[in-house]
Structure 1
Amino acid sequence: MRNSLDTAELTSAIENVHRAGMPGLFAEVRDGDEVWRGAAGVADTATGRPVTPEMRNRVGSITKTFTAAAVMQQVESGRIGLDTPIGRYLPGLVPGARGEAITVRMLINHTSGLAEYLPYAYPSLKAFPVVADTGPQSLDDNRFTRFDPTELIGMGVTAPAVSPPGGTPGVYSNTNYLLLGELLQQVTGRSAARCITRNVIERAGLRDTELPVDPYVSGPHAQIYEAWFGMIDPPRDFSVYDMSWVGPAAALISTVADLNRFFRKLLAGEIVSQASLTEMRRTVPVVSQEGKVIDYGLGLHPMAAPGQSVFWGHGGTVWGAGALSMTRADGRRQMSVAVNLQRWNRLDSAGRPQPHPIDAALADFYRLAMYG
C-alpha cells in the first residue's frame, strides 16, 4: 500500500529548492501519525555546515498567530472586548476619534487603516513597499538598535492613514500587532512576551519556541542571509539581530516541529475556544506587504489549491529568515518549512521583483507537502 507521505518525493522536492539557490531549508510534513522531516543545503555558507530538521529559526510573522491567540484568550476571559475601541484601553497611543473608531478586531485583521511604521524606523526603506526606491543601509544600521514599541507605534499612528477604520481591503501593518502587545500588557499586567510565553507557548507544550530577549538565536540554528533584492551581494549574515523592531508582530524563534504542534493544537481548540476559532477564521480581504490581496482572519489566513482542501496558518519573514506553516482544516495534514535566505528576487527594469527558480521550487514543495 502506498504511504500517504511519499518520503522519496518530499526529499527530492526539498533538494530541488536548495539546487534552485536556497542556501538551506528544513521542513516537517505530517499526515495523521506519519511524520517526514527533511533538510537540504547548508546552515553556514562559509563552513558548509549542513542544516538539520531540528534547527531553530526566526519565523517572522507567524508570531502574529501566537499574539492573536493570546488576545483571544483575554477576550474569552472578558478582559478584552473584540469590538471595543482600542482608545478605551490605550488612549495615549491611539487618541481621539481614531481611537474610538478602531476596534481590537480591526487591529488583529489589519483593517485599522494604521500605516506601517517600518519605513519611518528604517530610513533607507522610506519608499517601502516600492522596493526599487529602497536601500539596505538601515538593516545594518539597526542591527543592535533597541526600539521602544511605543515609539514605533507612534510612527505608524502619526503617518497618513492607509484606509478608513474597518474599510476593506485592509492593509497589512505591523503597527497593529505592536498595539496588541501593548494591549496585552495593559490588561494582564505582564509584558506581551511573558503573556504569550505563559498562555500560548507553554500551554501548547512547545520546548523550542521563544520570544527572544537578546539578539541571538539560542540552540542549534542556521545562519540567515539577507539579499534585499540583489542589493546585498553576496547576501549578508543577519543571524545576530535585535528583534525589538518587530516584537509581538514577528520576533518569534521556533522549529518546524513546534510550529506544526502549535497549529495542530490551535485548530483543535486546545489553545483558544471553538468560538474564538470561528472568529479567527472569519476573513476579510487584506493587501499584503507584497501588494497582493489575500483573505485574512484574526492572525490566520487560508491557503488552498483549486479544488483542494483548505489549509490554515501563517507565513513570515524577517531579515534573512522565513517560514510557512499550514494545517488542513481537519488538523490531519500539516506542513512547516523554514528557509535561511530572504528577498532573493532581483528587480527588473521597472523595479518589480523578477521570478526566481527558488519561487517555483518552493511552490512545488508546498503542493507536494500539502496535497501529496
Structure 2
Amino acid sequence: MTRTPVRAALGTAVAFILLAGAAPAAATGGTLRPQLEAITAAGMPGVFAQAVDGRHRQSAAAGVADVTTGAPTRPGMRHRVGSITKTFTATVLLQLAGEGRLRLDAPLGRYLPAYAVDGVTVRMLLNHTSGIADYDHVIFATDTSLEENRHRTFTPAELAAFGLNQPATNPPGAAWSYSNTNYVLAGMILEKITGRSPAYEITKRIIRPLGLRHTYLPGTGTRIHGPHAAAYIPWYEGVLVDFADYNMSWGWAAGDLVSTTDDLNRFYRALLTGKLLKPAQLAEMQTTVPWVPGAPEYGGYGLGLYSNLLPCGLAWGHDGLVLGHSTISWHSADGRRQVTVAQNMTHYVAPGQPDPISDATITMLVTQLCGEQPATARTTAARPHLAEQSFRR
C-alpha cells in the first residue's frame, strides 16, 4: 500500500504574494460563503472563516466537520491553530522587554545558561535566524510515531534537546530558517523571567484582558473543549484518520493554542492597533527578515509576526499547521481589514504537486483583504518554511 508521505507536522503554511500589477483595495471582499465552497470543491472536507472590513463582519463555513456523520462545519468552532501560538508567545516576551525585564539582543546564555549557543540572541530565536534546527522530524520520524505520540507528554527540556542536538541550519544571524525549537527556548526564557508558565502569562496578559473566551492552551490535555471539527490526515488508501484528540505538549510555546476565527481576529486587531505593545516594541515585532533575499518589499518574518505583499499593501499575521488542523490569519496594517480561515485536513499533497485547495484558499484570502483582482495580476504562492522532511519508514 502506498500513500503520499506525511510531512513534518508543526509548521507554518505562509504564502507570499508576488504581483505583476498591484491594484487598490475594493470596498469589500464579497460574500464569504461561495469562496469557502470553492475550497471544499477543491477537496477540503471542511472550512470556516471570519472576514472583517471595518465594522462589517461576516462568518461562514462550508463542508463537513466529520466525514463519517456528515455533521456540517460551523462558524465559531474551536480549532488547533498551531504556530499562531508564536505570535502570542512573542507578544508576551516583547511586553517583558517593554518592562525592562528582557533584552532582545542579549545572548541566549544570559537567560538559559545550560542551553547557550555561541552568537545566538533572543531576537534570533524570535525571528528564526538562530540556525538552531527544528525537532519535528525527530519526534515524528515514522508514520507509526504519529499514533505512538498521541498521548505522550514531552517536556520543554526534551524538545529543546531534540533541536539542539541536530546540525545547525546556518551560523547565527546569517539566514532565516524556521524552527519550533526557537520558540520552545523562547518559552523557557519567558518562564525563567516570570516564574510562570507561558500558558499562565499568555492567559493573564492577552487572553483575559481581550476577552478571548474560546482561546486557551490545553497543555497535556488531549481533548478540544467545545464544538470542533475532526483533524484529518489522509492515510493508506486515502482513508482519513482523525488526530483531533492529541497531547499537544510537543507544541508547547511554539504551537499549543486552541482558538476561534473571531478570537484570532480580535487578538491581531488589538496587537496591530497598539493595545498590547508599546510603539517601540511593536516596531521591533514588525522589523522583518526578508522572505526573498535582497527584496524586503515582498515582506518577511519579524518577531512572531510576518508580512506578505498583497495587491493592497502589506498584510500582517501568521498561520499554523498541526496534525489535521491548519489556520491562516492575515490583517491589514491598521487592523481594519481581516480574514482568518481554518481547515480540517492537512498533509494531503506531495511537494511539487498541484494544490487546488491552497490555490482556492489564497484566492479567498486576497479577495477578502483586497477585493477582486484584475486578470493581469499574477499571484504566486510559496511556502518557504513548511518543513520538507518526510516521516521515515
Question: TM-score by structure 1 length?
Answer: 0.88
Matched residue, 1:193: 199
Which of 268, 272, 292 is matched with 1:263 structurally?
268
Which of 274, 283, 287 is matched with 1:282 structurally?
287
Matched residue, 1:361: 360
Pairwise CA distance, 1:271: 0.8
Find out whether 1:107 has 2:107 as its counterpart. Answer: no
Pairwise CA distance, 1:274: 1.3
Give the alignment's Cα RMSD to 1 decimal.
Answer: 1.7
Q: Indicate how the Cα distance of structure 1 residues 232 and 271 shifts in structure 2: closer, same or farther if over 3 A, else same.
A: farther
* In structure 2, C-alpha distance between the alignment counterparts of 1:371 and 1:35, rounded to whole Å: 15
* In structure 2, C-alpha distance between the alignment counterparts of 1:237 and 1:294, rounded to whole Å: 35
* In structure 2, C-alpha distance between the alignment counterparts of 1:92 and 1:225, rounded to whole Å: 38
Tell whether the 8 Å contact from 1:111 to 1:166 is kept in structure 2 after alignment.
Answer: yes
Tell whether the 8 Å contact from 2:130 to 2:171 is kept in structure 1 after alignment.
Answer: yes
Which of 185, 210, 215 is matched with 2:222 structurally?
215
* In structure 2, C-alpha distance between the alignment counterparts of 1:316 and 1:183, rounded to whole Å: 22
Higher relative contact order (CA closer than 8 Å, sequence separation 6+): 2
* In structure 1, C-alpha distance between the alignment counterparts of 2:42 and 2:139, rounded to whole Å: 33
Matched residue, 2:324: 320
Matched residue, 2:346: 342
Tell whether the 8 Å contact from 2:319 to 2:328 is kept in structure 1 after alignment.
Answer: yes
Matched residue, 1:244: 249
Tell whether the 8 Å contact from 2:78 to 2:228 is kept in structure 1 after alignment.
Answer: yes
Find out whether 1:5 has 2:9 as its counterpart. Answer: no
C-alpha offsets along residues 261-301 of structure 1, whole Å, 9 cap, x if unaligned? 000000011011111111111111369xxxxx971000111
Pairwise CA distance, 1:235: 2.1
Which residue type is aligned with residue 144 of structure 2?
Q
Tell whether the 8 Å contact from 1:217 to 1:253 is kept in structure 2 after alignment.
Answer: yes
Tell whether the 8 Å contact from 2:216 to 2:257 is kept in structure 1 after alignment.
Answer: yes
* In structure 2, C-alpha distance between the alignment counterparts of 1:68 and 1:232, rounded to whole Å: 40
Tell whether the 8 Å contact from 2:215 to 2:258 is kept in structure 1 after alignment.
Answer: yes
Which residue type is aligned with residue 283 of structure 2?
T
Which residue type is aligned with residue 185 of structure 1?
E
Matched residue, 2:158: 151
Which of 180, 185, 188 is matched with 2:186 structurally?
180
Secondary structure at 2:113 match in 1: coil
Q: Indicate how the Cα distance of structure 1 residues 312 and 231 shifts in structure 2: closer, same or farther if over 3 A, else same.
A: farther
* In structure 2, C-alpha distance between the alignment counterparts of 1:232 and 1:265, rounded to whole Å: 45
Which of 59, 66, 70 is matched with 2:81 structurally?
59
Pairwise CA distance, 1:318: 0.1
Pairwise CA distance, 1:357: 2.0
Which residue type is aligned with residue 202 of structure 2?
I
Tell whether the 8 Å contact from 2:50 to 2:58 is kept in structure 1 after alignment.
Answer: yes
Give the count of matched residue pairs: 340
Tell whether the 8 Å contact from 1:111 to 1:286 is kept in structure 2 after alignment.
Answer: no
Secondary structure at 2:342 match in 1: strand
* In structure 1, C-alpha distance between the alignment counterparts of 2:331 and 2:300, rounded to whole Å: 16
Which residue type is aligned with residue 370 of structure 1?
L
Find out whether 1:141 has 2:148 as its counterpart. Answer: yes
Matched residue, 2:102: 80
C-alpha offsets along residues 288-330 of structure 1, whole Å, 9 cap, x if unaligned? xxxxx9710001111222x422110001100000100011011
* In structure 1, C-alpha distance between the alignment counterparts of 2:291 and 2:135, rounded to whole Å: 17
Secondary structure at 2:362 match in 1: helix
* In structure 2, C-alpha distance between the alignment counterparts of 1:203 and 1:81, rounded to whole Å: 25
C-alpha offsets along residues 133-183 of structure 1, whole Å, 9 cap, x if unaligned? xxx221111111100110110111121111101112x11000000001111
Give the unaligned 5+ runs of structure 1. 125-135, 288-292
* In structure 1, C-alpha distance between the alignment counterparts of 2:227 and 2:287, rounded to whole Å: 37
Which residue type is aligned with residue 342 of structure 1?
T
Which residue type is aligned with residue 194 of structure 2?
T
Tell whether the 8 Å contact from 1:171 to 1:286 is kept in structure 2 after alignment.
Answer: no
Secondary structure at 2:313 match in 1: coil
Which segments of structure 1 move beyond 4 Å, counting only runs of 4 or more?
A: none
Name the stretch that deviates more: 192-201 or 256-265: 192-201
Matched residue, 1:131: none
Pairwise CA distance, 1:232: 6.9
C-alpha offsets along residues 314-363 of structure 1, whole Å, 9 cap, x if unaligned? 01100000100011011110000001000221x3xxxx341122122112
Tell whether the 8 Å contact from 1:27 to 1:256 is kept in structure 2 after alignment.
Answer: yes
Tell whether the 8 Å contact from 1:26 to 1:38 is kept in structure 2 after alignment.
Answer: yes
Tell whether the 8 Å contact from 2:29 to 2:369 is kept in structure 1 after alignment.
Answer: no
Tell whether the 8 Å contact from 1:5 to 1:36 is kept in structure 2 after alignment.
Answer: no
Matched residue, 2:374: none
* In structure 2, C-alpha distance between the alignment counterparts of 1:180 and 1:276, rounded to whole Å: 16
Question: TM-score by structure 2 length?
Answer: 0.83
Name the stretch that deviates more: 198-207 or 62-71: 198-207
Pairwise CA distance, 1:247: 0.7
